[in-house]
Structure 1
Amino acid sequence: MARRAAVTLPGAANAMFARVIEDLGFEAIYVTGAGIANMSLGVPDIGLTTLTEVAEAVAAISDTVSLPLLVDADTGFGNAVNMVRTVRALERAGAAGLQIEDQVFPKKCGHFNGKDVIPLNEMVQKIKAAVDARQDQNLQIVARTDAAAVEGIDRAIERAQAFVEAGADATFVEAPISAEQLARIPASLAVPQVANIVFGGRTPDPGREKLADMGFSIVLYANAALQAALRASYEVLGALKRDGTLTAVADRLASFEERQRAVAKDRWDALEARYRIGA
């Protein structure tokens, strides 16, 4: 984060997506709360997931890959006291960083309408609780504000500055609506900044190079893998329903061998051989 190089963090909603991200050579992974809601529960990102469900997903991903995980912790699943438990649970599950936000509960996707934010002093106390609760001081506390859509970009930057003063390691001003607003964020705040690029969302995508020039540290593409998989699933299964065979869409499918390589079957085969009785 200190490099301010707009490092790309694709989102993973599960361990399989995390394996693909690691295999492609990315430096870190964003564990997406929206993705967990969509893929595990089949529901929209409107605050329906629980801490336990997110922690289970983080633990599965952490056990599968070696990359650092920035985890979407939503609002901390409650007040400042809940935040303490959230930080401890997700750090124990394998998080290297936690993103916490200032929306009212139940929260909504940052690119949905109808959002609202809690009072600033309440969020400040939640950040202080998160900072105090971490066991490893290298655990990054990323404080997100959704105030731009509610109170305007000026107020969002003011809130982010207050988060820095409360101890946040980085801030994340969600859903700026122009390149000009994007550029103002790292220019106004001294700590590392996170940009969130949602395909079809409100924030334009100027590309990694321009975001690095602006001074962003991290760029999230939280649900690119999910959106790709969803489109491919409809196309492939639609062809199967129509034709009764996969012949017409065979080029859209990973091979059997590619699938096994993605889950490191050779490593499990080696373990089986090593511990085989009589070996």
Structure 2
Amino acid sequence: MNSKTTQLRHLLSSDGTEFIMEAHNGLSARIVEETGFKGIWASGLALSAQHAVRDNNELSWTQVVDVLEFMADATSIPILLDGDTGYGDFNNMRRLVRKLEQRGIAGVCIEDKLFPKTNSFIQGERQPLEDVETFCGKIQAGKDAQSDDDFCIVARVEAFIAGWGLDEALRRAEAYREAGADAILMHSKLSRPDEILAFATEWADRAPLVIVPTKYYSTPTEVFRQHRVSLVIWANHLIRSAISAMQDTAARIQASESLVDVEGQIATVAEIFRLQGADELLEAEKRYARSARAETSAVILAASRGQALRELTRERPKVMIPVAGKPVLRRLVDKFKAQGINDVTVVAGYRSEAIDVQGVRIVENGDWEETGELASLVCALDAVGPDTIVLYGDLLFRTYILNNLLDWDAPLLAVVDSSPLDQAQGNTNDIAYCNARDDRAMYQQRAFLDRVCADRDWQGREPDGRWIGLLRISGDGRDAVGRGLDALRADPGFPRMGMPDLLNQLIEQGDAPQVQYITGHWMDLNNHDDLQRAAGFAQGHRS
């Protein structure tokens, strides 16, 4: 494909009449290209309007260039900038051209008015014009500054706007052509094309002629072809249509206090993602994002009601109880997403319809009243991938615990609080016995589970802590969990089994989970006393 500058030059020198459309940001530029236009007009009016400033050079040229960079990156067709007066004298013009070439802009149109300019349709007849020699010097400076021979400078003549008439329009156009302008844009604010057609007849195709029929919009396009117009610019219609659409949508939502009337009549979020190139990013991630560890997922076991919380769980499961204004489940999901864990599955049961948390996949344990945690885990086995965190749904914990869990390299890793049992919160059947006590002086100590149970003196031993309900399964650990579940299914009591049963089965089959010791900084919600403490925990520790 030809470069963007070459494409623009071909549009200007085409034997027929070509058309380009206004755009004012990357999104509108991409829409212009997708629609089939061969080029884009970066309108000064539209660029100013989208920032809610006046078309009086209130938007600086550097701000304009910043927007143009996004437009150029989003498209493969040429962009012709409405460069006002060149944003200053000949020296500003030289710098502008160099910066536009660096950003991949194909050309610039400058007008022979004084800086700072005022829009031509606002008392144009009172606006003084730049003297011809000065403007010719600006054109020549721009041409000398360009490094790409195909970069185009279009000279816009404002003689008709200022009320000077045909002779002055022709005099200026010819001077600008001789100074090096690649095309002449002749502007008019009349509702009929008479001035433009008179100029086109006298101009006799000396150089490409560009027009902007905003005011004389009802003129048949064939008339422009007959008069050898090279390029027609539809100059501000996307920004105007966007304004109308936004005003209408905002008014309807405000009046109805609902989205029902508009949702089916506006672009979908999926369409926004498409225009943003979201699919391309996903494909690129497959090629380039070669992370050392697999993408992590999470499975949250949240099927139980939380009977001890009585009235608080009459209409909702325990995981939807708010703590410091935010449901427990929302806190967990936010914590995972903050660490880049976006694949979150929630196993629901009691009042599953009341789970209203975005960003999760819900699977249901329909037999939640008759089954335990392992039955819930089985419901979500397809979500247990190469790296998955399984946890209780009523858990609150400090962020560093999750960070450490992700940082350790072990196929099975269980988080154990080594605080004395009378200080630690948690389920009474999650008491942990390990092959080594917590050596707090050792970083990433290699200790393994020996048993998880409700017994405080298993085999006459002193407990080493309490499993908090967090288990990471990665690599070979996934197969180990599969073997453990298969073995446990053979037991008639399997439907009522909990996570400690799985941990103990893993130990028995030679796949004992490694232990990540912590000391406090977590809690779960079993009763009203826990709930009262939870608000302070969440607020004090940003849980």
Q: Name the TM-score class by shorter chain.
A: over 0.9
Structure-2 residue corresponding to 1:76? 86
How far 1:61 moved relative to its partner?
Answer: 0.8
2:54 partner SS: coil
Per-residue CA deviation, residues 178-215 of structure 1 (Å, 9 max, x unaligned), is: 322221233333100111122xxx33441433212211
Where relative contact order (Cα < 8 A, 6+ residues apart) is larger, the structure is 1
Tell me, what secondary structure is at the counterpart of 1:219?
strand
Task: Return the match for 2:25 from 11, 14, 37.
Answer: 14
> What residue in structure 2 maps to residue 35 of structure 1?
46
The one-letter code matched in structure 2 to 1:38 is A
Relative distance call for 1:161 and 1:210 in structure 2 (3 A) is same
Report the equivalent of 1:209.
Answer: 222
Range 14-23 or range 48-57, more displaced:
48-57
1:191 and 2:217 correspond: no
CA contact 1:73–1:100 (8 Å) conserved in 2: yes
1:120-139 aligned at under 5 Å gives the runs 120-139=132-151
Structure 2 unmatched runs, 5+: 1-11, 295-543
The equivalent position to 1:247 in structure 2, one of 233, 257, 260, is 260
Q: What is the distance in 2 between the residues matched to 1:263 and 1:157?
A: 45
Q: Secondary structure at the match of 1:142?
A: strand
Matches within 5 A, 1:88-103: 88-103=98-113
In structure 2, what is the Cα distance between the partners aligned to 1:145 and 1:11? 19
Decide whether aligned partners of structure 1 residues 251 and 109 sit closer, same or farther in structure 2, where only a CA change above 3 A counts: farther
Whether 1:58 and 2:74 are equivalent positions in the alignment is no
Q: Per-residue CA shift, 1:9-41, capped at 9, x if unaligned?
A: 11111000001011111111111111111102x
Q: CA deviation at 1:145?
A: 1.3
Question: For 1:161, what is the secondary structure of its paired residue?
Answer: helix
Q: Structure 1 residues 28 and 147 mapped into 2: Cα distance closer, same or farther (>3 Å)?
A: same
**2:398 paired residue number:** none
- Say if 1:102 and 1:145, in contact at 8 Å, map to a contact too: yes
Instruction: Give the conservation status (yes or no) of the 8 Å contact 2:53–2:59.
Output: no
More strand by share: 2
Give a deviation string over 1:196-242, Cα, whole Å, max 9, x none: 122xxx33441433212211111111211100000000000111111
Alignment correspondent of 1:272: 285
Matches within 5 A, 1:87-166: 87-113=97-123, 114-150=126-162, 151-166=164-179
Instruction: List alignment gaps of at least 5 residues for structure 1.
Output: none
Deviation at 1:111, TM superposition (A): 2.0
Higher normalized helix content (fraction of residues): 1
1:158 is paired with a residue whose SS is helix
CA contact (8 A) 1:131 1:167 kept: yes
Give the letter aligned to residue 124 of structure 1: C
RMSD across aligned positions (CA): 1.6
How far apart, CA to CA, are the structure 2 residues paired with 1:252 and 1:170? 42
Please say if 1:229 is aligned against 2:242: yes
Structure-2 separation of matches of 1:197 and 1:251: 34
Distance 2:17 2:156 in 1: 17
Cα contact 1:47–1:107 (8 A) shared by 2 = yes
Partners of 1:92 and 1:4 in 2: CA distance = 30
Aligned-partner SS, 2:80: strand
Post-superposition shift, 1:157? Answer: 2.2
Cα deviation, residue 116, structure 1:
2.0
The Cα shift of 1:91 comes to: 1.6
Moved more, 228-237 or 53-62: 53-62
Q: Is the 8 A contact 1:10 1:21 kept in 2?
A: yes
- Contact 2:160–2:195 (Cα < 8 Å) also in 1: no
- C-alpha distance in 2 between matches for 1:222 and 1:82: 25
Amino acid at match of 2:63: E
Q: Could you say if the C-alpha distance between residues 195 and 111 of structure 1 is closer, same or farther in structure 2, counting changes exceeding 3 Å?
A: same
Supply the distance in 1 between the matched residues of 2:57 and 2:238 (Cα, whole angstroms).
21
* Gap change, CA 1:124 and 1:268, over 3 Å in 2: same
- When the two structures are superposed, what TM-score results if normalisation uses the length of structure 2? 0.49
CA distance in structure 1 between the aligned counterparts of 2:216 and 2:119, rounded to whole angstroms: 13
Aligned amino acid, residue 141 of structure 1: I
Instruction: Kindly state the Cα deviation for residue 275 of structure 1 after the two structures are TM-superposed.
Output: 2.0
More off after superposition, 249-258 vs 236-245: 249-258
Alpha-carbon distance in structure 2 between the residues aligned to 1:82 and 1:145: 20
SS at match of 2:150: coil
Distance 2:56 2:99 in 1: 22
Residues 249-264 of structure 1 aligned to structure 2 (within 5 Å): 249-264=262-277
Q: Distance in 2 between matches of 1:168 and 1:194?
A: 12
1:45 matched to which residue of 2? 55
- Match for 1:206: what amino acid? T
Does 1:85 find its partner at 2:98?
A: no
* Cα distance in structure 2, aligned partners of 1:38 and 1:141: 24
Q: 1:171·1:192 contact (CA, 8 Å) conserved in 2?
A: yes
The structural deviation recorded for 1:247 is: 1.7
Letter in 1 for 2:272: R
How far apart in 2 are the matches of 1:129 and 1:170?
16
Aligned length: 275
Q: 1:203 to 1:4 in 2, by over 3 A?
A: farther
Contact 1:153 1:176 (C-alpha < 8 Å) held by counterparts: no
